[in-house]
Structure 1
């Protein structure tokens, strides 16, 4: 669940949009985002999105 949420958050989708795409509750998405922010030491969602976006660009280069 974390991978898809991470990728979709990195593409700029809201929690609600992510929940709809993954057919889960918005609360579950919010919990995933909060956990990832803590695990990756991101101060806020914007930093998490930047990290996910950067990771996506690096993965495409390889």
Structure 2
């Protein structure tokens, strides 16, 4: 991972299950991808819940 750019909001991953094999994801900023950033901000505007990502 790289250090995040300075910006007004971040959406870090705080929880993963199972931790084994996914530890690198903890702290990852979901909004680092432009498409995910747009989706997250739209959900906030609409005050909708964001579903957890599952496989």
TM normalised by structure 1 equals: 0.29
- Structure with higher Rg: it is 2
Higher helix share: 1
TM normalised by structure 2 equals: 0.32
> Which one has more relative contact order, counting CA pairs under 8 Å at least 6 apart?
1
